[in-house]
């Protein structure tokens, strides 16, 4: 079975999923997607994330040309297409290309339901496009709710479109357990340095937490973005910069609590990777994956978005309940297991072999 993946910007977590699918019996995989650099920033993913996977990486101009993309896909003579969203015209046109008319089509997207005018119009504007798809593949409950809002038949919807190399991150817990001393006393943030991720809220909350205790924990930040300057010369804040996927488990192994205070987060792969590494989680309710991956006081704490007071309370709670963090981290690992690359491949294989 020849499967062609048409993706947006390639990344480490999806590369792990594609690699797992490519190893399934009878599957021949080809990936077309945008170069793995981070828009507007100098730091880029190591292109080695695609090693061993047949692929063609293009830039945005190439993708906008449409016809070359259609020709590239058609030349592969695919039995199935896995298409990332509907924003790219080239990928939308694939659904109508006569050369792949009989090809099974799976569209994956992470958009949550928001009840905006744009989503209301999407119910009508995208109707024909959605009807051409055999399956819609969403991360979890909030994406599923959008498909219900759009009145997509339930039998065409599957959850689990976002996953990670859970086994690789599980090793962080082993390293943490083997380290001398008690559970690490630190907070870690992984994400873009933008206010969409709540970075300014985090900086303010951390300062207030730090002022409220006699022995504050450090805050370590991993990422890149326009607000990088806000982390400079802040007491207790360490800017580790952008961490390549291969190196992230080792960094997380040295941390005590993961925190993601996003204002807007369709799902949030960083939360999954932190859970898989065995960390308790602090995140906002704006994070879509909080529905699947965070249970308040069980493996973490959730806060309202844009609520600095709530972030301070959550950080202070973790500080005061240090003895519980190890067990909370183990619970995080259990919640992460259904979102492994192996499970992602299982979901896809099910859609490739079942009749909608």
The band of 101, judged by pLDDT with boundaries at 50, 70 and 90, is very high
In terms of domains, do 130 and 234 share one? Answer: no
Contact partners, residue 73, CB within 8 Å, separation at least 6 = 4, 6, 32, 81, 94, 97, 100
Global pTM reads 0.93
Return the pLDDT at 334: 97
Percent of the chain surpassing pLDDT 70:
96
The total number of structural domains that make up the chain: 2
CATH at residue 8: 3.40.50.2000
List the one residue out of 166, 145, 129 whose CA is nearest residue 272: 166
In terms of domains, do 279 and 194 share one? Answer: yes
How do 104-108 and 80-84 pair as beta strands?
parallel
pLDDT tens track for 134-160: 999 999 999 999 999 999 999 999 999
State which residues form the domain around 249: 166-338
Q: Is the pLDDT of residue 45 over 80?
A: no
In terms of domains, do 187 and 223 share one? Answer: yes
In terms of domains, do 245 and 122 share one? Answer: no
How far apart are alpha carbons 156 and 135 in whole angstroms? 5
**Through-space distance between the first and last CA atoms of the chain, rounded to whole angstroms:** 18
In terms of domains, do 157 and 60 share one? Answer: yes
Neighbours of 73 (CB within 10 A): 25
Return the pLDDT at 180: 77
pLDDT tens track for 170-182: 999 988 888 778 8
In terms of domains, do 151 and 180 share one? Answer: no
- The angle subtended at Cα 293 by Cα 291 and Cα 294, nearest 5°, is 80
In terms of domains, do 198 and 86 share one? Answer: no
How far apart are alpha carbons 23 and 113 in whole angstroms? 34
How do 2-9 and 300-303 pair as beta strands?
unpaired
């Amino acid at each position: 079975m020849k499967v062609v993946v048409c993706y947006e910007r390639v990344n480490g977590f999806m590369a792990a999923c594609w690699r797992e699918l490519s190893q399934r019996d009878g599957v021949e995989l080809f990936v077309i997607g945008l170069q793995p650099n981070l828009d507007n920033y100098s730091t880029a993913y190591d292109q080695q994330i695609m090693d061993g996977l047949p692929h063609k990486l293009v830039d945005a101009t190439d993708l906008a040309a449409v016809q070359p993309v259609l020709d590239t896909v058609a030349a592969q003579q695919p039995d199935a297409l896995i298409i990332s969203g509907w924003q790219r015209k080239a990928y939308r046109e694939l659904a109508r290309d006569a050369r792949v008319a009989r090809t099974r089509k799976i569209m994956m997207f992470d958009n949550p339901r928001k009840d905006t005018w744009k989503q209301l119009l999407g119910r009508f504007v995208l109707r024909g496009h959605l009807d051409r798809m055999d399956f819609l593949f969403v991360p979890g409950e909030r994406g599923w709710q959008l498909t219900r809002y759009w009145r997509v038949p339930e039998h065409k919807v599957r959850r689990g479109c976002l996953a990670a190399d859970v086994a690789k991150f599980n090793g962080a817990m082993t390293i943490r357990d083997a380290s001398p001393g008690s559970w690490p006393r630190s907070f870690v943030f992984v994400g873009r340095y933008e206010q969409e991720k709540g970075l300014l809220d985090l900086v303010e909350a951390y300062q207030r937490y730090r002022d409220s205790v006699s022995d504050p924990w450090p805050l370590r930040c991993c990422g890149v973005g326009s607000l990088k300057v806000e982390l400079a010369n802040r007491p207790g804040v360490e800017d580790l910069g952008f961490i390549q996927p291969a190196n992230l488990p080792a960094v997380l192994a040295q941390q005590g609590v993961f925190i993601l205070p996003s204002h807007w987060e369709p799902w949030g792969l960083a939360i999954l990777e932190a859970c898989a590494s065995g960390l308790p989680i602090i995140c906002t309710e704006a994070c879509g994956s909080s529905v699947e991956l965070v249970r308040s006081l069980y493996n973490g704490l959730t806060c309202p978005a844009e609520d600095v007071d709530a972030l301070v309370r959550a950080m202070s709670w973790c500080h005061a309940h240090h003895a519980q963090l190890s067990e909370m981290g183990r619970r995080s690992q259990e919640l992460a297991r259904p979102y492994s690359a192996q499970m992602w491949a299982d979901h896809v294989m099910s859609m490739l072999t079942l009749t909608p």
